[in-house]
Structure formats: C-alpha cells, structure tokens
Amino acid sequence: MTFLHIGFDDTDSPSGGCTTYLCARMVESLSLLNVDFTDYPMLIRLNPNAPFRTRGNAALCLRIKFDDDLENRVKQIVLNEIKNGADLAFKNTNPGIAFYEGETLPDLIKKFSKKVIQDIVVVNEALRLAKNVGAEICTFKNERGVIGALAAIGALLENDHTYELITYRKPENYGKPRKLDIDSVINMNSITSPRTFCNLDDGRMLITPHGPDPILYGVRGDSAEIVFAAKNMIKSLEPIERWVIFRTNQGTDMHLRFLSSISRVRPYLSVILNGEVSNKPKTVSGGHVIIPIKDHTGKIDCAAYEPTGGFREVIKNLIPGDLIRVYGGVRPASSLHPITINLEKIEILKIAPLVLKSNPKCPKCGKRMKSAGKNKGFKCKKCGLKLKEIEKSSLEIPRNITKKMYLPPPRAHRHLTRPIERINKVTKKPETVFTPWHHP
C-alpha cells in the first residue's frame, strides 16, 4: 500500500480558473481509479500579507492510499489535471506540484507549512525542503507554486480546522450572474448558524463569489455534516456541476503569530500584538482610520480601512491610555506612510478613564468661574469672588466601548480570520472521511 500526499498551488489567474475546481476534478478522476482518500481534500490559505500571492492565496492537498502498482497512473492523473486546468498563459500563474510518500509527515514539512501560512518564504527554501524530506516536485515557469504545494502537504490542522463545501457551476454559466434562492440561504443560515458562518452580511449573500470563476457558492462551517446539511437547504436556481467538502484553515486565525513586543514587527508578517494607544485616532483621506500604539520598545501605526465599515467607529472611540490587542498584517513603509498594521480585529484589554476638565463652579453663587490668568486662580464674574487655591473640576465621561473583541463586518474578513461565531472555539481532532463528501 502506498500513502501519498499530493500538494499543488498557483494554477489560477484573475480571468478565471480556480485551484479548488481543479482539485474537485482530480478527486473525481482519482475516485474512478479506486484510491482511498485518507482525509478530506485540504484547502489551505497561506499568509494573506505575502507580497507575491495568488488571488485567493489558496493551496490544495489530497491525501490518498492505493495499491503500489497504481502509483504511476495516480501521478499521471494529477499532472494531466494541472496541465489542462491551470491558466499557464497568465504571467503570474506559476503552478507547483509536490508528492510526498509516507503515512506520517516529517516535522520539517509541518514547520515549513506553518511558516508559509504566517511569514514569507522564498522558492529556494521550498526546493531545499523538498530535497531534505524526499518530496518529489514538479514546477512550471518561475517555480513559486512549489511553496504552497509543500505548505498544503504539511498542514495537518491538528489544533483547529473548519470545513467548506464548494459547489461548482456548469461551464456554460461561467461569467453569468449566479442564481440562488436568497430566502433558502436566509433559512439555512437561521438553522445552521453559528455552526456555519459568514453566510450573510446585513442581508447580503456572502456565500457566492463575484468573479468569472467556476464556484457557485461555498458554505463554511465547523463540521462536514453541517456544511452538507446546509447545501441541502440551499435552493440553487441553476444546475450544480459538482461539489466537494474541503477541510481547511479558514476561520482559524492560523496566520496570526503573537509577538511579545513592537520591536519584533516585520513587514508581511501577520501578527497579534499588545500596545497602549499613544495618540488620538485620526481619519485620513479615503475614510481610513489610523491609530498609533506603543510599548516599551517602540511605536507603530495601525489602520482600519474604509471597507471595514462600522469597525472604524470603534477605533475612533479609542483614546490615549487604552490598552488594546491588535490583530493584523504588517504593511511595509512606503513614501506615503510608515510601517503599518492593517487591522483585522482588536480586543480592548483596558479602558482608560476619559476625564473632562473644566473651570470650577463658584462656591458662593454656583456660577462657572473664569480663569484669572496664568497661575492666578479663578474669578467669578457674577459675584466677584476670586480664589487662587481652587482646582479645575473634573468629570468622568462614560466610554462607549467595552472590554471585548471587535471585528469588522464579515464581508471585510480575510479567509483566515476567525469569525465571531468561532471565538474561543476550536475543532481539534480531524474527523474521519465520511460519505458523502463529493459529487460526482
């Protein structure tokens, strides 16, 4: 018996195509060969802040076992599907495939995977890893796809994972508006949420993409059973060509790495960082809100962009002294702005008192006093009382934020962002593959 992990990445382009669709087709071809799938197909989202990335920044992996004599045919199917399905004509499409044989995975490839999801990795590092662990690779053009291919293999998602059931359209409908019965989606959401998430945002459907790609819709959830149940509740008004359930790191925050201080921040990392608000938030052109934070090692700007909508109001309500935990990707400095953390969410850890200082009231007649000049105390215009030893009165203003996590609306989420439905929730042990999980 041969155990094989098949990773691939970077086959799509902005004009269409989709690595998950290619994977779905591969699943069908391999099923016809009678191979056993030892896990769900894996859809692994890589560091969303990496400078070179594909559109959805997704890499895929299939884990299968089969009789040894099938090996060549299995590999031939994989290569053919990639060659036929990848948009090789597009300049920035650089497919990569990796095969790793073995029932268990070496730690090296797991560590590599974590790094690709959180940080920046160059092609040479991936090529070196492939050599060290004995992975067979096949690359096209500039070879960058091999990074994601190996990362997908190494992502076992032992600590947390979610599922996405993706349905695909008939080719004749590509590019046309997607036809789903919105009421059935609202109904599905009301029955399955929070076990499914990011279905709707303010009445708008989030399960359907908008591009020319083959995806009709995708439902995300905590188990394969719940996304399968959700599919059966959604009425599609156009035919579904095929569907597959993927096991994925979406909605897990797996891209974020906790840094102990601001001095450790580097461009392109996805970070979690504690800091004290050091200045008032400021709104810049385009409607983006910038908030600087500091700790004992330095200071850094954080930004809530316009598409994060009402989330910006939370940021605008912060004042110097507030202690917050920020989550987001690090954008390098440019000629227009310093190095900045693009906020994906924040947690308010400590709320500073907001005190309004005003001139004291006259102890004799109650009228608000006026300053008598610098260091000369206050005088009352009504009764003429002058007092040198009187303090300004202070009034504590209630703050309209609370100590909790704040997220932008789901439409502004990254694929990897842990949504509000999954706060403090992890799905630990991968389930065994159940039927049905794909069709055809």
- For Zn ion, the closer of residues 265 and 385 by Cβ is 385
Q: Pick the piece of the chain touching Zn ion (CB under 5 A) from 228-236, 284-292, 337-345, 364-372.
A: 364-372
Structure tokens at 375: 């260091």
Examine residue 365 and tell whether it contacts Zn ion (CB under 5 A): yes
Specify burial of residue 323 (Cβ count, 10 A radius: 0-12, 13-18, 19+): middle
| 3-state SS, residue 31 | helix
- The DSSP secondary-structure symbol of 226 reads H
Q: How far is the CB of 388 from Zn ion (least distance, A)?
A: 15
Interatomic CA distance for residues 262 and 221, integer angstroms: 34
Task: With CA atoms as reference, report the closest residue to 7 among 61, 86, 45.
Answer: 61
32 binds Zn ion (CB under 5 A): no
Q: Which of the ranges 144-152, 282-290, 344-352, 372-380 carries the binding residues for Zn ion, by CB under 5 A?
A: 372-380
- List residues bridging with 361 in a β-sheet: 368
Beta bridge partners of 115: none
Q: CB–CB of 411/419 below 8 Å?
A: no
Question: Interacting stretch for Zn ion, rule CB under 5 A, among 42-50, 296-304, 311-319, 367-375?
Answer: 367-375
Q: Token pair of 361, please?
A: 């009231």
Chain Cα centroid distance, residue 232: 27
Angle between helices 145-154 and 107-118 (to 10 degrees): 120
Nearest distance, CB of residue 375 and Zn ion, angstroms: 21
For position 33 contacting Zn ion by CB under 5 A, the verdict is no
Is residue 131 a contact point for Zn ion (CB under 5 A)?
Answer: no
Q: Could you say which residues in the range 385-414 bind Zn ion, by CB under 5 A? A: 385
Residue 362 touching Zn ion (CB under 5 A):
yes
Nearest CB to Zn ion, comparing residues 105 and 385: 385
Among 216, 380, 407, 416, binds Zn ion (CB under 5 A): 380
Q: Does 234 engage in binding with Zn ion (CB under 5 A)?
A: no
Please pick, from the candidates 176, 350, 364, 386, the single residue that binds Zn ion as defined by CB under 5 A: 364
Beta bridge partners of 172: none
What SS3 class is residue 20? helix
Residue count, binding to Zn ion (CB under 5 A): 8
For the record, the structure tokens of 350 come out as: 């400590």
Is 108 a binding residue for Zn ion by CB under 5 A? The answer is: no
Give the residue with the Cβ less far from Zn ion, 131 or 376: 376
Residue choice 122, 333, 383, 397 for contact with Zn ion (CB under 5 A)? 383
Q: Is the bond preceding residue 307 a cis peptide, omega within 30 degrees? A: no
- Does position 245 interact with Zn ion (CB under 5 A)? The reply is no
By CB under 5 A, is residue 303 in contact with Zn ion?
no
Please identify, among the stretches 70-78, 106-114, 274-282, 360-368, the one whose residues bind Zn ion according to the rule CB under 5 A: 360-368
The dihedrals phi and psi of 316, each to the nearest 5 degrees, come to: -65, -25
Residues engaged in binding Zn ion (CB under 5 A): 362, 364-365, 367, 380, 382-383, 385
